[in-house]
Amino acid sequence: MPALIICVYYDRPQIVRGALESLRRQTSRDWHLSFIDDGSPNPGEPIVREILSEHLDRITFYRCEDTKEQKLAQGGSRHGAFMNQAMAEAKVAPSDPVLVLCDDDALVETCVGNVVNWYQRNPGQVWSYGHVIPYDPSKGPPPWGAKTPRIWLNKTGTIAPACQVDSSQVTFRLEKIREIGYPSPMTSALDAAVFTEFHRRHGGCPFTGFTQQFKGVFNDQLGSRPIERRYSPNVK
């Protein structure tokens, strides 16, 4: 039971190195990476090939070529469509777990192994979430820049996750999240829309009990940039 990891990247070539380094350091090799570059002026594929050079046989690359003007015209990014394509073409089984890794986050070294084991031990569960540790990715890969965990990032019971946990904390069975799919173009309610529908279909999201990732918390997380530097007013 390998895990499908979908990494979404947009023009943060230094920060994404922390995410990729954390994947390289996983104690479990049971993963396949779908790397989605959202039309970045500084492409991410060369960075992936550098850091994960020993694992290229388990990586699939996707690149959205929309210009800034196209994104503004269509109301956002189409990276949700590429996430759906990655899930449709996934090199894992339908019952295997899916984890979305944002380019400013990073995985705890035991994350993949723990996620895979959790789903093996809980065959009836279709989604779950774990703890995160806030960190500053501008200071380099974890553990540099780690901060004291904040309570809002560390729930401990069954929840409806929309607006309660970070989106990358949640993992899904491939066959179940593929049924719902990600909206495209992307809106500021992308994850909340998915979580709300998933909760309606499958009930509360259970807590795994382990720490899963380092959550990037730093100055200028896209939302604080001038409006002309964003895709559109409705996109974070």
Alpha carbon separation from 199 to 4, 12, 120 (Å, rounded): 21, 32, 21
Q: Are 91 and 57 in contact (CB under 8 A)?
A: no
pTM of the predicted model, to two decimals?
0.88
Q: What pLDDT is attached to residue 126? A: 97
Residue spans of the domains in the chain: they are: 3-229
Rounded Cα–Cα distance for residues 105 and 133 (Å): 10
Nearest residue to 129 via CA among 27, 234, 209: 209
Helices (H), the chain: 16-24, 45-51, 68-74, 79-88, 111-121, 174-180, 190-202
Indicate the SS3 state at residue 37. Answer: strand
Indicate the SS3 state at residue 207. Answer: strand
Indicate the SS3 state at residue 69. Answer: helix
Indicate the SS3 state at residue 60. Answer: strand
Q: Which CATH number fits domain 3-229: 3.10.129.10, 3.90.550.10, 2.115.10.20, 3.40.50.850?
A: 3.90.550.10
Q: What pLDDT is attached to residue 148? A: 65
Rounded Cα–Cα distance for residues 52 and 200 (Å): 38
Average pLDDT, consecutive stretches of 10 residues, N- to C-terminus, the chain (236 residues)? 92 91 94 93 94 96 85 79 94 95 93 97 96 86 72 79 86 96 75 90 95 82 47 35
